Amino acid sequence: MNVTISSSTLPKTGALVLISVEGTKLLPTAQAVDEAMDGGLSKAIKAAEFKGKVGQVLDIAAPQGISVNRLFVVGLGAAKSLKPAGLETAAGRMVGRLNGARIKQGSIAGDAIEGSEIADGDVAAHLALGAQLASYRFDGYRTKQKPDQKPSLTKVGVMTRAQARAKKAWADLSAVGQGVYLARDLVNEPPNVLYPESFAKKCKALTSKGLKVEVLGEKQMEKLGMGSLLGVGQGSVRESQLVVMRWDGGTAKSKPVAFVGKGVTFDTGGISLKPGAGMEDMKGDMGGAAAVTGTMLALAARKAKVNAVGVIGLVENMPDAGAQRPGDIVTSMSGQTIEIQNTDAEGRLVLADALWYTQDRFKPRFMIDLATLTGAILVALGEEHAGLFSDNDKLADQILDAGKASGETLWRLPMGPAYDKLIKSKFADMRNIGGRFAGSITAAQFLGHYTNGVPWAHLDIAGTAWQSGSKPTSPSWGTGWGVRLLDRLVSDNFEK
């Protein structure tokens, strides 16, 4: 679907969507429409008891006095509490509504909203992003779809009187949308198509966007001593990979920000085999790597003024005769030894070497890792928030603020030396599981031993990387969660 920023001239075809805030008069475009309808819009609003509350939608078919076939008014709630994510959700909801009505072309009025913290022009840009995100589809493997099963909407124009500002903001936001699309595609791909080597190949293709991309194979990782990462993939016929993506948009002397992603392209659990029910979802166990890859594309596409590094560890966890066993002891790149007590606690083993490699080679300002790491985080937080763990309060607060601004929210959980006793091993420096209690915390505590004092945060996205249903701006199973969060973190704090 094509999304554009357009003038505030009333459209002559398709559907028109007006925005409304609670407790205020009609916004400028709605006023113009009401005049053209000889007060008909005001009468319809009154008759329907439409108050402009969040999620309210007024639908008027064949409105008199204007040329469009359908007129909608969507509520945004109170102006003072409106956030960009609220605009995006409203636009996404309306894209779904327009497709449901089999409408081919729509226009959304992106009026300035008095009393809101969102500037004129930015309103239109965020409405455009919501429409873009809502239009995502992963239909490449469907061969029998009928025309009426496909989206009808082909074009959305977001109208604004502040076109210059809106177009500038939209250029950046549409780049973020590209990153979200890529992350969703990666998570949604079937595991016979997306495996470590093919994932790495997709990353290499991003050199056309300005990224520098390196791929390390198993022999290179063996020389570096990455026994923790390599042990996970030794039961697979697919070769494990470590991909390094770099965006050099800052000054030469500026330390990079670093993002590290877990990329288990399929997770059977290994010898500690998972139950069969739901195992197909384990194609998405590379959601952290997908988010890092999408973020790196977003930064490059909008030419972010920052130096950034994305490192992803790509493995397939399979249970063949050569697979890692419970009871094995491996040596990580850091030199620390790990007793394997459960081969299904494999993501932390991948991240241990990826984190150590990142801090050792790049000396970054900070590291943030993303991983679909524990089922325990789903029990704690469901699908609404990701888990945040950090050894640095300033970084944690910056991430939480970026989450609120982007709509990708987190909840911070505790860490501390007391949890180390739960991962203490009788035979090695530590073991890879901590037992029944505090599962997400002990996983984070394990990772903290591989950061070497660099400011660090761990995001457990097992509840947010994919979803059981759908949301207005996230209609597919794979959500692309993390791209908007990390891009907002960079833009708010590290490009000034």
How many whole angstroms from its chain centre is CA 470? 14
In whole angstroms, give the CA distance from residue 310 to residue 368: 10
The helix (H) or strand (E) run that includes residue 127 is: helix 122-134
| Residue boundaries of the structural domains of the chain | 2-160, 178-493
* pLDDT band, residue 147 (cuts 50/70/90): confident
- Mark whether 348 is an active-site residue: yes
In contact, 348 and 432? CB cutoff 8 Å: yes
Beta bridge partners of 263: 314
The helix (H) or strand (E) run that includes residue 258 is: strand 257-267
In whole angstroms, give the CA distance from residue 103 to residue 86: 23
What is residue 330's three-state secondary structure? Answer: strand
What is residue 333's three-state secondary structure? Answer: coil
The per-residue pLDDT for range 195-233, each reduced to its tens digit, is 999 999 999 999 999 999 999 999 999 999 999 999 999
Q: Which residue has the tokens 């290994």?
A: 270
pLDDT > 90 fraction of the chain, expressed in percent and rounded? 98
Q: Is 285 annotated as a binding residue?
A: yes
Instruction: State the catalytic residue, choosing from 165, 238, 283, 348.
Output: 348
CATH number of the domain at 178-493, please? 3.40.630.10
CATH of 2-160, one of 3.20.20.210, 2.60.40.10, 3.40.220.10, 3.90.1150.10: 3.40.220.10
Q: Is 344 annotated as a binding residue?
A: yes
Q: Is 38 annotated as a binding residue?
A: no
Same fold, 2-160 and 178-493: no
Q: Is 280 annotated as a binding residue?
A: no
pLDDT > 70 fraction of the chain, expressed in percent and rounded? 100
Q: What pLDDT does 148 receive?
A: 87
Q: What pLDDT does 24 receive?
A: 80
Q: Is 346 annotated as a binding residue?
A: yes
Give the mean pLDDT of 172-194.
98
Q: What pLDDT does 388 receive?
A: 99
Give the mean pLDDT of 288-295.
99
* pLDDT band, residue 496 (cuts 50/70/90): confident
The pair of structure tokens assigned to 372 is 């679909």
Instruction: State the catalytic residue, choosing from 202, 274, 404, 471.
Output: 274
Mean pLDDT of all residues belonging to the chain: 97
